């Protein structure tokens, strides 16, 4: 099977497995695991933040951000198709007790003027705006890169109102690889940043959340409350360190593969490409074939290709480390036959 469902399906490399095997470990709840500490320090340094925390998943990192930044009864501003809004089981509301307020964006980018207008004035009828959340790259918008200037404008407004900005950067390194903007620049436009080690970077488990030392101290407690205080976590942090230090540069290959697949699919009868392919996600619409996403996905599957539905007639393909150029060529040939 050529698995293009998500970059989460990547398997750890031989070097990552070896690093897990040899990892020096300690009890991370006592902040005594050297491999976790090394990963957290490296992540904080790379993003230009004071501190970092290794968390179990992107979802947990985002939830810790909401729990640490906000109080129950507050409101969180975020893009209408943000992962935090669509795909995290309303956990922000369930755990942090906050109300999401969505703003429809353009390719994942909210209009800074609309964000400014949505910030609540001081009035006993209203919730306070407790956090603004950005997402880069934006998953539902097809891996779209949210421009740095857009983030800058929103962050400036947020600071005027002393509202914290959290960046869901599950795929931030894809934005870095594709745009040439440094990860520090992106990270400088948010108070806290979550990014995933386990997606395109290939680590088996985990995400990082970065921010100020004071924020991370509180976040560490929330992680513990959520059951995310892991003990000898060095065995998963060591592969994460390799993901962070050795796997970011190669993401451009995934982007080239995505572009090739998109260009070829666009020329196939009945298929159209819904997104501008900035990074590793391609949204292919099958309406021209008179089929549903499910029907076309079944045909792909019987031809050894996996992808996921992303709308009634939309299919998402994600390129990643475990899909080679040759695999992409095979996918193109089989789709041509279909």
Contact residues toward ligand PLP (CB under 6 A) are: 57-59, 62, 83, 135, 139, 168, 170, 196, 198, 207
Give, for 163, the enclosing helix (H) or strand (E). none
Residue 287 DSSP SS3: helix
Distance of closest approach, residue 183 Cβ to ligand PLP, in angstroms? 16
**Dist CA 209 CA 280 (whole Å):** 22
260-263: Cβ within 8 A, 24+ apart: 260/325, 260/328, 260/332, 261/317, 261/319, 261/328, 261/331, 261/332
Choice between 56 and 271, CB closer to ligand PLP: 56
Choice between 69 and 271, CB closer to ligand PLP: 69
Choice between 201 and 235, CB closer to ligand PLP: 201
Distance of closest approach, residue 22 Cβ to ligand PLP, in angstroms? 25
Tokens 């391609």 correspond to: 282
Choice between 135 and 278, CB closer to ligand PLP: 135
Distance of closest approach, residue 269 Cβ to ligand PLP, in angstroms? 31
Count Cβ atoms within 10 A of the Cβ of residue 1 and give its class: 0-12 exposed, 13-18 middle, 19 or more buried.
exposed
For 7, which DSSP code?
G
Distance of closest approach, residue 135 Cβ to ligand PLP, in angstroms? 5
Helices of type H across 168-248: 172-179, 183-187, 213-225, 234-246
Choice between 251 and 271, CB closer to ligand PLP: 251
Residues with Cβ within 8 Å of 53's Cβ and at least 6 positions away in sequence, in order, are 40, 64, 208, 209, 210, 216, 219, 220, 223
Distance of closest approach, residue 196 Cβ to ligand PLP, in angstroms? 5
Distance of closest approach, residue 6 Cβ to ligand PLP, in angstroms? 7
Choice between 318 and 335, CB closer to ligand PLP: 318
Residues with Cβ within 8 Å of 267's Cβ and at least 6 positions away in sequence, in order, are none
Distance of closest approach, residue 267 Cβ to ligand PLP, in angstroms? 29
Distance of closest approach, residue 136 Cβ to ligand PLP, in angstroms? 9
Record the tokens describing residue 302, joined without a space.
């019987």
Choice between 96 and 271, CB closer to ligand PLP: 96
Distance of closest approach, residue 75 Cβ to ligand PLP, in angstroms? 20
Residues with Cβ within 8 Å of 74's Cβ and at least 6 positions away in sequence, in order, are 98, 99, 127, 128, 129, 130, 131
Residue nearest to ligand PLP (CB): 58
Beta strands 75-79; 314-318: pairing state: unpaired
Between the two ends of the chain, the Cα-to-Cα distance in Å is: 16
Helices of type H across 127-210: 148-160, 172-179, 183-187
Choice between 243 and 335, CB closer to ligand PLP: 243
Choice between 209 and 261, CB closer to ligand PLP: 209
């Amino acid at each position: 099977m050529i698995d293009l469902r998500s970059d989460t399906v990547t398997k750890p490399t031989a070097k990552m497995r070896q690093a897990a095997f040899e990892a020096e470990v300690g009890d991370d709840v006592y902040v005594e695991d050297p491999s976790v500490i090394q990963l957290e320090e490296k992540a904080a340094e790379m993003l230009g933040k004071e501190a970092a925390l290794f968390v179990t998943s992107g979802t947990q990192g985002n939830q810790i951000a909401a729990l640490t930044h906000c109080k129950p009864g507050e409101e969180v501003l975020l893009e209408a198709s943000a992962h935090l809004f669509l795909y995290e089981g309303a956990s922000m509301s369930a755990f942090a007790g906050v109300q999401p307020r969505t703003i429809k964006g353009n390719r994942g980018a909210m209009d800074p003027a609309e964000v400014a207008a949505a910030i609540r004035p001081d009035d006993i009828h209203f919730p306070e705006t407790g956090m603004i959340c950005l997402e880069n790259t934006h998953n539902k918008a097809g891996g779209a890169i949210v421009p740095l200037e857009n983030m800058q404008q929103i962050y400036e407004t947020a600071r005027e109102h002393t509202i914290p900005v959290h960046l869901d950067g599950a795929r931030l390194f894809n934005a870095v690889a594709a745009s040439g903007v440094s990860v520090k620049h992106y990270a400088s436009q948010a108070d806290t940043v979550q990014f995933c080690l386990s997606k395109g970077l290939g680590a088996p488990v985990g995400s990082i959340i970065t921010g100020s030392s004071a924020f991370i101290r509180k976040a560490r407690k929330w992680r513990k409350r959520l059951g995310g205080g892991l003990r000898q976590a060095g065995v998963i942090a060591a592969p994460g360190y390799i993901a962070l230090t050795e796997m970011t540069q190669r993401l451009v290959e995934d982007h080239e593969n995505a572009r090739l697949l998109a260009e070829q699919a666009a020329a196939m009868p009945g298929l159209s490409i819904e997104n501008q392919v900035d990074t590793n996600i391609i949204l292919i619409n099958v309406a021209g074939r008179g089929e549903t996403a499910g029907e076309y996905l079944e045909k792909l599957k019987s031809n050894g290709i996996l992808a996921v539905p992303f709308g009634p007639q939309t299919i998402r393909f994600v390129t990643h480390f475990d899909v080679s150029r040759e695999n992409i060529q095979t996918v193109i040939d089989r789709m041509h036959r279909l």
